[in-house]
Amino acid sequence: MELPIELKNVIEDIASDIPVKKLISASETVSARYRNESGNGKSLINNDIEAAAYAIVRMPATIGAVGNAMIYATDKYEGEIRTMLDVGAGTGACCWAAAEIFPDIEHFTCLEREKSMIDFGKKLMNKGDFPYECEWKSCDITDSFNCKADLVTASYVLNELTEAKRDKLTEKLWDCTEKMLIIIEPGTPVGFSNIKAIRNKLISLGAKIAAPCPHTAECPLPESDWCHFTARVSRTKLHKQLKGGEVPYEDEKYCYIAAVREDCECSENRVLRHPKIESGKITLKLCTKEGIAEKIVTKKDGSLFKKARKSNCGDEL
């Protein structure tokens, strides 16, 4: 999923008033803080320039990953989503993604600790004509909060917490969820390990898994492997300047889990790796209801071959 054009335009409009050198310096500072100071209670975004740099660098990738996860989560789920709660909202990326995917949402609530993020997120929505009502609340997600919504999201948040705090917050997020909970983490071995623990906790609380898993049994992947997917998003000139890159796109690797309260049909098979395409055959690594399987599809398989050829890592087959 790409950055909505209205959001892209307003980010670039706001950034045009800030010297590029200041944005580059702020981006480097924020990246260093997230690497070295996450989870210790310190403020990570301290002013509008840092919030702008964060939005330029992270919102395209976050919207790409979150948008993909939402699309996969709704493949089998037909419930109506009218309210959304985003926990650890940053500058509002999850809300912009959801607004593209859930046309019936009427109200958004964003919980965020950093004042600069809240202020910048509000500015983006106001100047970008965000078409829905959104309430922003100042909140440290490790503290108590009392909100309910049909859809609850938490992206790139739980990885910043200790195991005990992550377990407690998972339970709180599920308690806030009326219909669907989506949690997104970095597509790294550590991110996947966190998602596995979150998945186990949600199942113990009675959740049904909507995606990506085709079952609620124990994850069949060995400890040396991890499940992750990729969102390819376009880079603007400014994005490339701040990240020091030349390639016109960015591949965001992510893990996710989508859980629902109502009974939901799981996918049959999930593509775990990019298909290996050879002359006349395609080899797929799949997560199935019976476990991990390798499937070879040939031209003799007709429509299945065409579907396999177009499939990406993360797709249902």
In Å, what is the CA distance from 106 to each residue of 85, 110, 242, 305?
12, 14, 35, 41
pLDDT score for 200: 96
Residue 83 lies in a domain: yes
286 in the same domain as 251 = no
Burial of 61 (0-12, 13-18, 19+ CB in 10 A): buried
CATH number at residue 131: 3.40.50.150
197 in the same domain as 99 = yes
Print the domain residue range for 288: 269-310
φ, ψ dihedrals at 281, nearest 5°: -150, 155
Q: State the Cα–Cα distance between residues 5 and 50, nearest whole angstrom.
A: 22
pLDDT score for 265: 78
pLDDT per residue, tens digit, the chain (317 aa), is 888 999 999 999 999 999 999 999 999 998 888 877 766 666 778 899 999 999 999 999 999 999 999 999 998 788 899 999 999 999 999 999 999 999 899 999 999 999 999 999 999 999 998 989 999 999 988 888 889 999 999 999 998 889 999 999 999 999 999 999 999 999 999 999 999 999 999 999 999 999 999 999 999 998 889 999 999 999 888 889 998 888 889 999 999 999 999 888 777 889 999 899 998 899 999 999 999 999 999 999 989 998 998 898 899 88
CA dihedral for 292, 211, 231, 238, sign (positive or negative): negative
pLDDT score for 75: 87
285 in the same domain as 197 = no
pLDDT score for 266: 76
274 in the same domain as 256 = no
In total, how many domains does the chain have? 2
Strands 249-260 and 229-234: antiparallel
pLDDT score for 41: 60
